[in-house]
Structure 1
Amino acid sequence: PYICDQLAMARLPRASFALMLSLLPLTATLIGVIVLRQVPSLTDCLGIALVVVGVAMHKPAQE
């Protein structure tokens, strides 16, 4: 998995890679719900949503 991260980091723009990384908690939560039948709290869901929205809204500085 770390090799895939390094390859993606080398090929993707920084914003796309950051968004991809911010989706990891969402992916882990979905796997937990499906495989382990865990129920995330409202706080968990709000935290994941805030991180994804924050990274998606970020605009890099113009050079």
Structure 2
Amino acid sequence: MESQNIRPGHLTAHQTAQQLGITLGGVRLLVHRGRLKRSGGTPRQPWYAVTDVAALLAERQARPAA
């Protein structure tokens, strides 16, 4: 269950995964690799800043297709 009290300007892990087009495991991997930083929530229900997610999305879109 996702938190109903999320601060403005933040996304849940599920919302982050949906925005980036990846799985929750992919979100955890981005955090583990230091590419994405938790910005609130709890250890089990972290939040991520919209600006951080948008930057990752822009970076992925700017990368040439392989």
TM-score by length of 2: 0.29
Task: Specify which structure has the bigger relative contact order, considering alpha-carbon pairs within 8 angstroms and separated by 6 or more residues.
Answer: 1
Higher helix share: 1
Max radius of gyration: which structure? 1
Higher strand share: 2
